[in-house]
Structure 1
Amino acid sequence: MRWLPLAVCCYAVGLVSSAPTESDEPYLKIKTRTTTFNVGERRAIYCEGQHLPGNLEWYDPSGAKIPPRSTKAKRIFVEPRISTNDVPTFLPLMIQKLILADSGTYICKAGDLSSNITIFVGEKVVITETEEDVIDEEGHHVELSCQAKGTPVPDIQWYDKDSQPIVNSAKYRITYKPRSSTSVLRINDLSHMDPGKYKCKATQEKLSHFAEKFFHLSVRHKPVIMNEYSESEVYAILDEWKNITCKAIAYPAPTFTWSKHDDNYDEEMRNDGPDHKITTSKETDGYSVLTLHITNETLEKQYKCTVENPKGRQNFMFHVSLGNKPDPPTAVVMTSATANNITFEVSCENCTFFKDDGIAPKPENLPVLGYVFEIVPHMEGFTVPYWLNGTQYTFDITSDNETVFTIENLEKSTEYHVRVATRNIAGQSDWFDVVGYPKTTDGAAALTTSIGLLILALFFSLRY
């Protein structure tokens, strides 16, 4: 170890002896990080030299010498500095409130030495109106106008309602009007598929700048039923309630009407009745839910949903028939828990699961589509859960091999009542009550244990 100071000393001497010595050779260079500027900015561009054959001087793109600041040179001037041959000389070129005409090549000279810099002055693109609401009719065309002014002329790209770039096609046509710096997007044959937010994006790569304008397009159109088929088979469970949902989009917002339908007569159903309830949204992407109490009189009937607005009317038929009530799970076991999640394994020995074999399911043996979990925190001293405060979690399954399900975003260190039901297209089974009170862990305790194990591992690694 006694050789260490000597080695360090020798290394330091080596550093000193290898340090570069100053040269008496003249040099001249322009120091700047960028050559692209924006209109209105204030910039200082430094020219540096040493051991020069003459004084530093700046010349503008026309070849004229740039003078020091004076009453006549208030915007573009130089600021001379006292210098000696022992230290570098600096001569800053000052440009106040840059304008487009300042673009060009500037030369710094000293005797027969010179260096030049070509600067570009641009004007960042501006779109004065950045949001616009546009409304037009189904079957018409509409033109969206985007005026984007700047230097250099910006590249303009249009994006559709799905944020995808638009190119010219039978549906879209983009044109550019140079005199007004305006790009126009024409959308042909408007339909219910076109409403949404469109975007015009003007980009100046040289200035690393862009501006955007958003168009919120609405199209007045007749209602369009969003159910999958023109007619729908509805399976229900006897003596239970069944929700039948009719979905549609329309602008203006549609009205929904429900009626009992047969070949000769439609009996309109009022908002509420002894055997049904109707819940309807008032949005343009709307829906109406008919909740039926299923009895023998309800079955084998058709129910018609009529959707209407000033642009037109559409009907959708639902045929209600009896389906089987699924069997409940045969076993539900908690397999693991964390501070916020609990995982369960579910068995259903008597369930028929979905198989995509192209054969329609039989109403008396409809396949299980998934499970419904309902949980509510356990309250000390209460053995009967208050299910009105319960939270439901719905899980879809595609095969009988899918048996493990995790309920997430729970409170840590909390006991729960849990019950599970199977469900098919007709409804759900009776509840299966999970034994005991499944509980999430204490996150802080788990963290403390992990830290303890880490410290123990570090101790043994240092010791051995």
Structure 2
Amino acid sequence: MSLSGMEGGRRGGCLPLAGMAWAVLVSSTLLLVCDAAKEMPYFLEPISNVTVPAGRDVRLACVVDHLSNYKLAWIQQDRSAILTVGNHVITRNDRIGVSHDGHRTWYLTIKDVRPGDAGTYMCQINTATAISQTGHVSVVVPPYIKDEMSSDDVTLQEGMDVTLVCSARGSPVPSIMWRREDKSDIRVNLTSTNTHLRASASSHALVKEAPGPLLHLSKVSRTDMGAYLCIASNGVPPSVSKRIDVVIRFLPTVYVPHQLVGVPLGQDVTIECYIEAWPKGLNYWKRPNGIEILHSDDKYEVKEVEGSQKYKTHMLLTIQRVSKSDIGKYNCIANNSQGGAEQVVRVSDTGVVPSNRNALNKGGFENKESSVGKPAIPAVNWSKTNEATPPLKNDFEEHRKASQRSQTTHQQQTTKMLQKPNLGFESLLPSPSSSSPSPRGSRYRSPALLASLSSLLASPSRHSHRSWFLGFLLLLGFLSL
């Protein structure tokens, strides 16, 4: 072999070995020199770990220098599965792809990532002693609720226990929180697994949120009825929720805020009651004569107003142009599939409203408080235990009775005075020592004389004729003053 040929071989990177059987020793030495002079491939940078939501695409990059004629393969290390070699895809998974930027970077692409794609991926080069590096793919899954393993809507009787279940999946594992749809408090049982809510004062607590997959409700009442939301979240949007409706059946309960309502004849009056019942049934009023009032007419106006909770109803009955036949007891009645209940409202007559509001009523005082629509008799307040407070006395009746007692006292005093044998008009006149001098020509008209006169003239027929005769004499003496 010529020198020029050898030099050409050097320029080519190594010496040709064909046809040189005559120099085995020399050629072996030259081959070792060529291999030593050739650079081995190496990685320029590590593979980045990637976190990707399920359903997205992900791409891993392996950057190699001096790859030359060596081959690069992608391997799923957890399963020891060869995915690609060079530019060829080995796996049958059509979501796997490989690409090369024509220089140093080889890409492994996974489309529509699934939770099973999570794991460690290896970039390996087939040198005499294989070299490799790895990167990790984390697949996060938004939370979702498994309906078949969670509670559905539940219906139960008041006083029973119930446990609501919410089963959620996702990656990372979701946390679960319970809330009420109307944002009211949840009455949780502190003896359940929610030990961090434990309180020494009571076995129950009111909270806005309750954590955990189980929600224990013990001895449920009507206030526990409503929609409960099971909310699952794990930091991967979006959070999800399931709505569970808790329906509680119970007997109707009727509350009457005013047991006694007074109204003048000829005026309108409205009576009311509050009903709590579920399921809802038939609510109506019954008149004093036993006739049921189911609908509005010219005489009665019936209203049902739904309360803040679906099991609450406000019943109102307006009686127009109250007459004597309308006076009496009205029953507020509620019935449902669980039973029935009723309460009584009494409508009483407070007297006819005078046409002149400044006129004095029969009791002898001006009724400045009388107005259309305002009850003349204070209401009786009823608690939820149906225990009534003692009724208050009516002002009208008190003034009337006081006036009658005053008239009776005046009549008795005047009768005793007139029955004395030596009674004279001088005894009824004010004494000079008890009254101040008056101008000349003025006359004294004693207040005692006026009271005695009015009492005798207004006295009932049960007094004797002598009292009437003495009253007549008293009148003549009064006119002579």
Q: TM-score of the superposition, structure 1-length normalised?
A: 0.49
- Greater strand proportion: 1
**Bigger Cα Rg:** 2
Q: TM-score of the superposition, structure 2-length normalised?
A: 0.47
- Greater helix proportion: 2
